[in-house]
Structure 1
C-alpha cells in the first residue's frame, strides 16, 4: 500500500503527464539508447548519409520531437519514425504489443491501383459482402485509400519506393500495433467503399477483427528493467556470431504468398506442367517440368532460405537438380516473394546451380568493439570444444578482418566471405571431376519482394553470368540483421543491419552512383516483366507465365 501511495504522489507532482506514462527523462534515455545502438552497430551508416541524405548521428531534432510527445504512444511513434528514416528494409522498431486488427481482406498495388487480392470468406461471406478480388479499394471511413497509404508508408519500409508501397498497402486492412502505435484507434465497424471493374462503386460496413491486448501505456518504472539478450556483448556459444552474420531475412509483412511454397502464379502453370514437389506441406520446394514446344523446361520455387530442416532441404534440392540435369533442356528457378534467410543455406543451393568457378557476395561487417569481443570469445570457445576446422577458420578470418578495420580506423571491414573461406568458390564435382551443379540454360525469376538472402542469390547468379534474370528488380535489403532491446523503460526492440552485401562487380543504375552494394539498389533483371498488373491478378498470372516460358525457350534455342 505504501508503494502505491508513493507512486500516486509522484504522478501528481509531474504536471502534463497522464498516470502511468513514461517521464520525459525516461523517454530521452530510451531514445538516446536507440540512437547509441545505431551509432555503434549500424553498418550502412555512411551509405545512408551520403546517398540517402539521412545522418542518424544528427539527433538534436529527434530529441526535440521526443520532448514534445504527450503520451507513450506518441513517443513510440517518434522511435519508429527515426528508424524508418533509414529507408532500410531490415530495420524496424517494434512496440511491446501483441495487438492486431484486420478487415479480413487484403489489397496490393496492381498497375498503380489498390486492388483486392484475397478475401477471408469465413469472416466475410459472399452473400453478405459480395465484393470480389480485382475490386479497387477507394476509401475507408471516408478517407481515400491512397491518402491512407501515403500515411502508412513509414510503418513498413522496404528499401525502395515500389516495395514500400506494396508493404504499406497491407497495413490498410491489417494493422499490427507492434508496427503501428495507434493501430487500436479503429472503430468497431468501418465503412469501406470499393470500385467495381465497370467503374461503379459499392459500400460495405465491415467489422474489424481484433486479437491481442492493446497497448495504451507502458507504465512508469522506478529503475530500468534488465536489458534483453540482444544487448549483451558477452561470450555466446561459438556458432552464435556466425548465425548472427548469416541471418539475412525479413519478417512476414502480410503480402499475399510472401514466403509461400506455392508460386503466386500456380493457377496458371497449365496442363503441360507436371508437378513433382509441392503436393505435401512437408515438401520444401515446389517443382515440376513444363512441356513447351520442343523443350522440357524444369521449374523449382525456393520459397525462402530458412527451411525447417536445412540439411534435408539441401538434399531435396540436390535430387531435383540431378533429375533436371538429365530430363530437361533448361531450368527456371523462382525466388519471387522470397523473404530471405540463411546465407549458408543460400550458398549451398547456389553451388548446385553454378558448375564452374564462381564468386560469392562478400559482407562488410560493422567493426565494433562488441564484434571483436564476441568473435574472439567464440574463437577460443570453438578451439576448446574441438569445433570443425572450417568453423575455426571462418571465425579467425572474421576476427582478423574486424581487428584490421579497427586498427585502420574504418567503420567496416572489407568484403568478408560468409560462404566458405574465400570469395572465389570452386565448383562441386564428383570423383571424376564432373560438376554436380546444373549445367544447362538457367533463368531466375525475381521481383521487388525478393529480399535479403534472395537479393544475394540473384546478385550471385548475375555477377557470374550464370543465367537470365527475369521479372522485376529485387528489394535491396542488402545485409545481415540482428535484433536488439531498444530501451529499458519503453521495452521496445529494433532489428538492425550489421553488415553490407558487396557484389563482385560494380553496377550502375539511374537512381544511384556506381556501386557494388545491394542495399537500396537491388539487383536489376536482364528481362523486365511486371507481375503486378490487373491482368495477372484476374487471370492468375497467365500472361507472366507465358512470358517467362517464351523467354526461356528462346534462350534454350540460342544455347544460353
Structure 2
C-alpha cells in the first residue's frame, strides 16, 4: 500500500513528464540539471527514513517542493550553477531536518572577527579574534557588548531571515545556529550566500537605556574577510544522451543544515572547548587531550565536583574512537574513586553529534547497570543488507568472544564486545535481511546495531550522580546522549531543549557537473523510550535554563549559579 507521501511523490513525477501543458524546449544545461535533480530525489525517495513522519506531522510536502524546483529549472534557459545550487538548498532545507544537507565544492567564504550569542531577546559579543581586531583599534568593542543592528537593520530581523522562510516558525535551535554560525561565518560549501565588502553594526553608547531601547548609539564598521571561489562555475556540461529536439512538460503547481582559526574564540565554536565557567576552586584535573576536565570544590567548603566536557561525538578513525573512549573511561574512573568527587557534571553544549556507536562506548563508562537504548526505525538499504549478510556468513565460525570481536571489528569502536553483544548483533543482522526480503524497507522500532542495552564497562565506570549540561546546539548523538540518560533515570539534564536531530545520518556522493559534492540525509527515526519521536522535539531538560544578559556581560555568572544550585539540590 502506498502511503500518502509516496503517492504524492509518484504523482508529482508523472505530472512533471506527462502533464497536459505547453511543451518547453530545454537546452543541454537544463536537461542535465534535471538529471542531477533526479539523483537527489531518488536518495530521498528510497532512503530518507522520516519522509512519512514529516508529511504526517504537517511539516513538508516534498512532492510540491520537487515540482517547484523542476519548474524553475525549466522556466529559466539561462539558469546558472549558483541558481541551481540555491534551488537544491531550498529543497533540502524544506525537510526541516538538521541532518539533511547538500554540500558543494567551493572555497568561497566570508567571516567577521567576532562571535555572537543571544540572551533574553538581545544579542551580545561572546568572543573577539584579537589576532584580527586589537583592543586598541576599538576599545569600546569588548566581550559582552550588545549589538543593536547589523548592516543597517535590527539584528533580530537579520537573524530570523537567515532561517528559511518556509518554516511555520523558526525553532530555538534554528535561531541559535543563525546567530552563532551564519550571522558572522558564511560558507558557500554549505549552501550559504556569501557577502563581501563593508558591514556596519550598531552598539550602545554611554547613556543608552536597554529597557526603553533608546539613547545614544555608536556605529562601527567592519570588512568581511572574504575568500573568493577558486572552483570554476558554469562550465558547459557534457551530456551524451541530450536530444536538442526533446521537450519537457511544465508541471502545474499543486495546491496543497568548515573550521577556521578563530583566534582564541574556539571555546564558543561548535565542538569547541566550552564556555562553562569554573564552578568552584580548581583542585585538580586528569591529563587528557580530548576531554577538558576539572575537579572543583564548591564555595564554602562545599562538595567536590567532577567536571568533564565532551566537545563532540565525531571522531574519524575507529582506532581513535577506541583510544578516546578509553581516555574518557580513565577520567571518570579516577573521579569515581572514594572521596574523589561527590557528583559528575558533563558538559555537551554545542555538540554537533557524531558516531552513535562511539557514544554508546562513552555511556558504558557512566553506569553500573544496563542502560536501555533508544529504538530506531531503520530504512534498510542493499548496502546494509550486504554488510549483515557478510557477518552472518561468518557467524558459524564464531565460537569465542575473540571471534566475535574480529567479525564485528569497526562496528562498535570503544565498546567491549562480549558474546551477548554478538548474539544481539546477529539477531539484528538477520532481522535486516528478513525485513528487506519481505519488502518492509522501514523497520518497526528496533535496537540500532542490535544493542538493546548498553552494558557497564567491566573496568571503567562512574557510579555516582550525574548532571548533564545541554543547549539548543546539541544535535544527533548530542540528542541521543542526554535522552538515553534521562529516559533511564541515570542523569539529571540542565539547560535548553536540544535540537532534535533524531536519527542516524548517511552521506552519498552526487555525480554531477554543477559543483555538488554530496547529500546528507537521515536513514533512521529514533524514538524515546515512551514512544515519542526525538526528531524536531529534542530533549527537554529536567532543569530548564535560558541564558541571561548577565551571562553575556559577566562570564555566565547566572548560569554558574544555576548549575551550583542544581548540584546542591541533587546532593541533599
TM-score range, shorter chain: 0.7 to 0.9
CA distance, structure 2, for counterparts of residue 223 and residue 394 of structure 1: 48
Q: Secondary structure at the match of 1:298?
A: strand
* Structure 1 segment 44-443 matched on structure 2, within 5 A: 44-58=50-64, 59-69=66-76, 70-130=79-139, 131-154=141-164, 161-169=171-179, 170-180=181-191, 182-183=193-194, 186-196=195-205, 198-199=207-208, 200-213=216-229, 217-223=233-239, 257-260=268-271, 262-266=273-277, 268-270=278-280, 272-277=281-286, 282-292=289-299, 293-307=301-315, 309-325=320-336, 326=338, 327-377=340-390, 380=393, 388-390=406-408, 396-418=426-448, 421-429=450-458, 436-443=460-467
CA contact (8 A) 1:35 1:57 kept: no
CA distance, structure 1, for counterparts of residue 240 and residue 162 of structure 2: 32
User: 1:556 matched to which residue of 2?
Assistant: 571
CA contact (8 A) 2:107 2:229 kept: yes
CA contact (8 A) 1:536 1:544 kept: yes
CA distance, structure 2, for counterparts of residue 217 and residue 258 of structure 1: 31
Cα shift readout 1:268-323 (whole Å, capped 9, x = no counterpart): 434x2324047x7x243323233344422222111112347322322222222222
Q: Secondary structure at the match of 2:186?
A: strand
- Structure 1 residues 197 and 264, CA, compared in 2 at 3 Å: closer, same or farther? farther
In the TM superposition, residue 22 of structure 1 has moved relative to its aligned partner by: 7.2
CA distance, structure 1, for counterparts of residue 155 and residue 240 of structure 2: 41
Q: TM-score, normalised by structure 2?
A: 0.77
CA distance, structure 1, for counterparts of residue 163 and residue 170 of structure 2: 11
Q: What are the ranges of 5 or more consecutive residues in structure 1 without an aligned counterpart? A: 1-14, 226-249, 431-435, 507-514
Q: Secondary structure at the match of 2:385?
A: helix
User: 1:502 matched to which residue of 2?
Assistant: 527
CA distance, structure 2, for counterparts of residue 197 and residue 91 of structure 1: 45
In the TM superposition, residue 86 of structure 1 has moved relative to its aligned partner by: 0.7
Tell me whether 1:540 sits opposite 2:548 in the alignment. no
Q: Secondary structure at the match of 1:547?
A: helix
CA distance, structure 1, for counterparts of residue 111 and residue 457 of structure 2: 48
CA distance, structure 1, for counterparts of residue 239 and residue 397 of structure 2: 39
Q: What are the ranges of 5 or more consecutive residues in structure 2 without an aligned counterpart? A: 1-23, 209-215, 242-256, 410-421
Q: Secondary structure at the match of 2:285?
A: strand
CA distance, structure 1, for counterparts of residue 25 and residue 142 of structure 2: 48
The alignment yields a C-alpha RMSD, in angstroms, of: 3.3
Q: Secondary structure at the match of 2:222?
A: strand
CA distance, structure 2, for counterparts of residue 102 and residue 461 of structure 1: 37
User: 1:490 matched to which residue of 2?
Assistant: 514
Figure out how many residues of one structure are paired with residues of the other and give that number. Answer: 493
- Structure 1 residues 145 and 424, CA, compared in 2 at 3 Å: closer, same or farther? same
In the TM superposition, residue 464 of structure 1 has moved relative to its aligned partner by: 0.7
User: 1:433 matched to which residue of 2?
Assistant: none
Q: Secondary structure at the match of 1:520?
A: coil
CA distance, structure 2, for counterparts of residue 210 and residue 378 of structure 1: 50
CA contact (8 A) 2:111 2:186 kept: yes
Q: Secondary structure at the match of 1:456?
A: helix
Q: Secondary structure at the match of 1:503?
A: coil
In the TM superposition, residue 400 of structure 1 has moved relative to its aligned partner by: 2.6
In the TM superposition, residue 192 of structure 1 has moved relative to its aligned partner by: 2.9
- Structure 1 residues 22 and 251, CA, compared in 2 at 3 Å: closer, same or farther? farther
In the TM superposition, residue 80 of structure 1 has moved relative to its aligned partner by: 0.1
In the TM superposition, residue 121 of structure 1 has moved relative to its aligned partner by: 2.4
